[in-house]
Structure 1
Amino acid sequence: MATAPLDLSVETHVVSPSTRSTVVRAEHCEALAARHIAHVAVVDAAAPYAVVRTHLSGAFFQVCLAGEGKTLLDGAWYPHTPGMASFSPAHVLHAFHCAPRKRWRVAWVRFMPSSPRSVHGAMAPSMMAFDGEVLAHAILGLAAETAGADDPGNCAVWVDVIERYTTLLLEPLQRQPRLVALWNLVEADLARAWSLAEMARLANTSEEHLRRLCQQSLGRSPGRQLATMRMARAAHLLATTTLKIEAVAQAVGYVNPFAFSNTFKRLTGFRPSDYRSRPASAKVQSELH
């Protein structure tokens, strides 16, 4: 973890002249649009290279292929090195940057707001091990096809590979069926005063074993997962409704609005009122990157 080098309250998109990007967008590829994928890319970045999205409308998956960068997850900065992938759900503060004096080669998949990946609670912010070379080759293959013959069938095959690899990685909860049932119950009633003992009982396991299962599958404790799910729902409500902040807090299980505000700030970088009052221009700009 490192001190944030960026102003996280401002939409940022800095690209150095030596950065090289290969991008395919849904407006140029019907197969991507059909899978609710906004765009895919392979980027060979060099500092200065930095992105801050204060309103991530669609979920974002990114894997490091070479070099080193930093990615913001759950309000903290993490090294993003080869063989590691990150997932940022919709409606969170999202940021990443290239490490100083180093190149950073990444591949990413940006989902549309309409994608099931972008639905609040679909998945928490995560960092996980993943070899992204095949995914990168599929993205580059799709780019070559769209720039050449642009055969719809061939494009669909490349997009199938991209979707297959992201699906295999982005459904870690399915590796633990007990956790699927548990988090579905929690997601359906986030206003409830959930305790570790109650969650362990619903998962038919001990509290300590539940901690181990969550750490293995999600990289976080059950309490941290609960807080992350609550803040994801809160961000969704703040972005899509006019509910008062106190009502949003209660809807996700916080009786004390100050405790809610502090947790929201810690995990998203914003106070709830600041998150809701972001200028429309910033929201539009975030859609472009």
Structure 2
Amino acid sequence: MGWPEYFEISDQCRSTIIDQAQLVALEKHKIVQCGINYARDSFTIYRRNPNMHMLLFTCNGKGWLDTPSRKWHLVPNSVMYVPPGHENGFGIDHQDNDDESWDVAWVMLASEGHWEDILPHGVTYSDTRCADLLRQTIDCLHQSMSLPYPVGHELGENLVEQIRLLVSHRLPTSNPTPLQRLDKVFSRAQEQFHRNWQVSELAALHPCSEAHFHRLCQQYYGHGPMSHLTRLRMEYAARLLSSTEWPIQHICELSGYPNPANFSTRFKKWSSLTPREFRRRFKY
């Protein structure tokens, strides 16, 4: 399949690109480029004879990668690796992707040097726990470049080393995909514990029906979605009670309980102690 060099990128796409010309620290580890693509609407790239190792870490949305022998569908928390010399094309996967989006962190590595001994010899696709962490690291690296010397320089050196570690190991997850998706839903809820979450809203983040969301929570957590959310809220409140001097009223509200009496009842049921008793016993 003789693909031409081709790309089609919508005006709605955003990208961050960092290369060796901008940051010398990348050259030390034979990292030619790294970046983040927030692909929207239309995003397609075909490459005939790439001369670098390419890794695509899917963070959100869905993508695809095509080679002469096979096509892969790329989902969140996965990494796609393509060695030098393998023609390929990649872009947004519009199938079951209502937002028509694909957020991907990518790294291009020099074809010569130590990467030949670390990376696979063929095209590979696997799950990973590193995708979003790599995205955040590249974002921090981009921001560090605007900081004055020596802070920006030292921070950049450390962040490039972190990129090297994440790419070298890629850390596959041992959790089944449905559990990964559930954990991601509740991680999103944890960012807004103060919000009055409803099961319908949590199910929509998955996305699936409320009934199916209930079944998944029962299967993987052993209880329903609101029970799981309550446990996460209690654990969060316990950490704040033991590690801060914040007023209990404030901790109630941050944990999603504007009524202190209701919070105290829930907390005692969970820990066998009132919030004040818990703080006295476990204060750091």
TM-score normalized with structure 1 length: 0.53
Residue pairs, 1:108-127, within 5 angstroms: 108-117=106-115, 122-127=120-125
Runs of 4+ in 1 over 6 A off after TM superposition: none
Counterpart code for 1:133: D
Counterpart code for 1:145: S
Partner of residue 134, structure 1: 133
Q: What's the CA shift for 1:162? A: 0.5
Partner SS state of residue 159, structure 1? helix
Q: Within 1, Cα distance between the matches of 2:111 and 2:83?
A: 10
Q: Within 1, Cα distance between the matches of 2:113 and 2:37?
A: 23
Count of paired positions: 165
Partner SS state of residue 9, structure 1? coil
Matched, 1:155 2:147: no
Partner of residue 223, structure 1: none
Q: What's the CA shift for 1:8? A: 5.4
Residue pairs, 1:40-119, within 5 angstroms: 40-73=34-67, 75-100=69-94, 102-117=100-115
Backbone CA RMSD of aligned residues: 2.4
Residues 102, 41 of structure 1: CA spacing in aligned structure 2 closer, same or farther, 3 A cutoff?
A: same
Q: Within 2, Cα distance between the matches of 1:23 and 1:55?
A: 21
Partner SS state of residue 17, structure 1? coil
**Is the Cα contact below 8 Å between 2:68 and 2:88 reproduced in 1?**
no
Q: What's the CA shift for 1:133? A: 1.1
Partner of residue 211, structure 1: none
1:56-115 Cα shifts (integer Å, max 9, x gaps): 101001111000111125721111010111000011112101123611000011012334
Q: Within 2, Cα distance between the matches of 1:170 and 1:74?
A: 28
Q: What's the CA shift for 1:41? A: 0.7
Matched, 1:10 2:14: no
TM-score normalized with structure 2 length: 0.54
Residues 80, 137 of structure 1: CA spacing in aligned structure 2 closer, same or farther, 3 A cutoff?
A: same
Residues 147, 13 of structure 1: CA spacing in aligned structure 2 closer, same or farther, 3 A cutoff?
A: farther
Counterpart code for 1:34: K
**Is the Cα contact below 8 Å between 1:73 and 1:126 reproduced in 2?**
no
Counterpart code for 1:17: D
Partner of residue 144, structure 2: 145
Q: Which has the higher mean CA deviation after the structures are superposed, 77-86 or 93-102?
A: 93-102
Larger Rg: 2
Partner SS state of residue 52, structure 2? coil
Q: Within 1, Cα distance between the matches of 2:78 and 2:123?
A: 13
Partner of residue 213, structure 2: none
Percentage of identical aligned residues: 16
Give the gaps of 5 or more residues in structure 1: 1-6, 172-289
**Is the Cα contact below 8 Å between 2:53 and 2:111 reproduced in 1?**
yes
Q: Within 2, Cα distance between the matches of 1:120 and 1:21?
A: 28
